[in-house]
């Protein structure tokens, strides 16, 4: 039978936004049942939910070979809610006690609708979670009934190279769910039934996203990177979700990429490459300078910074460093002098950023700090985009205060980096301006991308997960983020 706004006949879905109701209306069917007609039988696969529109249904459960009456279902009462997220056996038999109507929503149809409209997933989870909590159960508890008992790991923003690296080291008994979209509050429900979520630098684990993850049963977030500024650690702690990271995977990969950017910018390799391809073999405008004898400032002398110091010294450069925790031992070993941030950028011909992004380092490179730099300095950033105020950087690049910039990261890179946008217009005006400048080289957060680093990331990530599965307490996890 044809029904106007059938979604409105499902009481638990009445709170859906009107634009989302439009996606569900074509999917909801109104089914007429005659007295004693069976809606489904206990142990059948549960692949649809239902709600009573009119009439009365009897619920029976099998006990000692007999169907035992349990209760009635009347107007507005619903069943099979968790079947929208997973397939499991029916826990009872439902039969019409009198002429009745039920509204039915199939899991397969809903899955397709949620793929077309991600906001629908989030809205449904919110409503269904509220429904099951009112019955004294959490969504996480209900999802424990999934048929696959293997370890379930949801890997978000999973590119082909991530999948290859993780698949080579993850135990065969683990079920790795490789998910192409990044984690955020719209996609968090894709982790339903997984105890572990694995994310990367541009995934967003803010408070609302974490609340959804906790509700679907997630207990561990395994970062496959060293940075953790994209995770609300306070919310994770409150929700009982542990967070682990990969503190270092290949400092050589990142340090060497910083060197590659520096050499390309200084010797105008990117411009020379384009000229020669066009048949232009002139040299005017391609002048660089010897690195030997110049001064470099390494901002953040951690694992990567220490490797870079040695690399730069190999070119015969004088290197100064700034770090929140200076190492006297490293200074004595290498001869590198620790100085204040202001003194470091004042001396340097080359400045390379390797500091973490925290409150104290946000927009460390800004109009004030740029004005104190040596005229014509080259700036390299392979750490985090938020270390730089890019409007101030553009102004300095146009004036010549900064002669060139090599950027492997960008503050607003989420949704841009790692994606193919070649057929689209770049709508980020700041990034578009940077791309237009000939004294700028931008790479798409690839400094870490070597086969060695990918293997190290995968190995460390799997090790972090194994520690968690072995039952270690939060404070015992080797690479726990606090």
DSSP helix/strand/coil, 430: helix
The one catalytic residue among 211, 384, 411, 467? 384
Answer whether 239's CB lies under 8 Å from 438's CB: no
φ, ψ of residue 178 in degrees (nearest 5):
-85, 115
Tally of helices (H runs) and strands (E runs) in the chain: 16, 22
Residues 6 or more apart whose CB falls under 8 angstroms from that of 332 comprise none
Q: At what angle do helices 207-215 and 118-134 cross, to 10 degrees?
A: 60
* Distance separating alpha carbons of residues 227 and 189, to the nearest angstrom: 24
The answer to whether 413 is a known catalytic residue is yes
CA angle, residues 229, 300, 452, in degrees to nearest 5: 75
Answer whether 412's CB lies under 8 Å from 204's CB: no
Answer whether 229's CB lies under 8 Å from 201's CB: no
The one catalytic residue among 182, 185, 245, 445? 445
The one catalytic residue among 211, 411, 413, 467? 413
* Distance separating alpha carbons of residues 208 and 220, to the nearest angstrom: 16
Could you write out the DSSP letters of every residue in 229-247?
TTB-HHHHHHHT-EEE--S
The answer to whether 384 is a known catalytic residue is yes
* Distance separating alpha carbons of residues 83 and 143, to the nearest angstrom: 10
* Distance separating alpha carbons of residues 382 and 261, to the nearest angstrom: 9
The answer to whether 141 is a known catalytic residue is no
Could you write out the DSSP letters of every residue in 452-480?
HHHHHHHHHHHHHHHHHHTT--GGG-TTB
φ, ψ of residue 210 in degrees (nearest 5):
-65, -35
Would you name the residues annotated as active-site residues? 384, 413, 445
């Amino acid at each position: 039978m044809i029904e106007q706004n059938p979604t409105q006949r499902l009481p638990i879905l009445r709170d859906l936004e009107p634009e989302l109701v439009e996606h569900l209306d074509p999917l909801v069917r109104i089914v007429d049942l005659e007295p004693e007609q069976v809606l489904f039988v206990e142990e059948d696969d549960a692949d649809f939910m239902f709600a009573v529109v009119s009439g009365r249904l009897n619920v029976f459960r099998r006990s000692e070979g007999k169907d035992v009456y349990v209760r009635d279902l009347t107007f507005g009462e619903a069943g099979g809610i968790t079947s929208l997220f997973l397939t499991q056996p029916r826990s009872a038999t439902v039969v019409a006690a009198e002429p009745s109507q039920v509204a039915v929503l199939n899991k397969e149809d809903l899955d397709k609708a949620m793929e077309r409209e991600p906001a629908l997933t989030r809205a449904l989870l919110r409503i269904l979670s509220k429904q099951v909590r009112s019955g004294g159960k959490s969504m996480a508890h209900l999802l424990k009934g999934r048929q696959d008992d293997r370890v379930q790991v949801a890997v978000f923003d999973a590119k082909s190279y991530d999948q290859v690296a993780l698949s080579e080291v993850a135990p065969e008994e683990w079920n790795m769910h490789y998910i192409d979209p990044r984690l955020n509050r719209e996609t968090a429900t894709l982790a339903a039934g997984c105890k572990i979520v694995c994310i990367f630098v541009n995934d967003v684990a803010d408070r609302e996203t974490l609340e959804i993850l906790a509700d679907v049963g997630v207990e561990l977030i395994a970062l496959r990177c060293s940075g953790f500024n994209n995770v609300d650690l306070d919310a994770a702690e409150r929700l009982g979700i542990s967070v682990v990271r990969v503190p270092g995977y290949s400092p050589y990969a990142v340090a060497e990429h910083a060197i590659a950017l520096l050499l390309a910018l200084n010797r105008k390799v990117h411009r020379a490459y384009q000229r020669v391809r066009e048949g232009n073999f002139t040299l005017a405008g391609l002048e660089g300078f010897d690195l030997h004898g110049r001064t470099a400032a390494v901002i953040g002398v951690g694992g990567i910074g220490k490797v870079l110091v040695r690399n730069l010294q190999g070119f015969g450069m004088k290197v100064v460093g700034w770090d929140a925790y200076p190492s006297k031992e490293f200074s004595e070993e290498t001869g590198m002098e620790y100085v204040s941030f202001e003194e470091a950028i004042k001396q340097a011909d080359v400045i390379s950023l390797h500091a973490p992004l925290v409150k104290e380092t946000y927009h460390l490179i800004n109009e004030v700090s740029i004005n104190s730099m040596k005229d014509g300095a080259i700036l390299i950033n392979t750490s985090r985009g938020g270390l730089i105020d890019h409007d101030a950087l553009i102004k300095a690049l146009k004036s010549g205060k900064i002669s060139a910039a090599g950027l492997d990261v960008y503050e607003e890179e989420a949704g841009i980096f790692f994606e193919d946008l070649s057929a689209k217009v770049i709508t980020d005006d700041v990034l578009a301006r940077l791309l237009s400048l000939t004294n700028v080289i931008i790479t798409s957060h690839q400094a870490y991308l070597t086969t060695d680093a990918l293997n190290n990331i995968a190995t460390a990530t799997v090790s972090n997960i194994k520690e968690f599965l072995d039952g270690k307490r939060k404070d015992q996890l080797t690479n726990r983020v606090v």
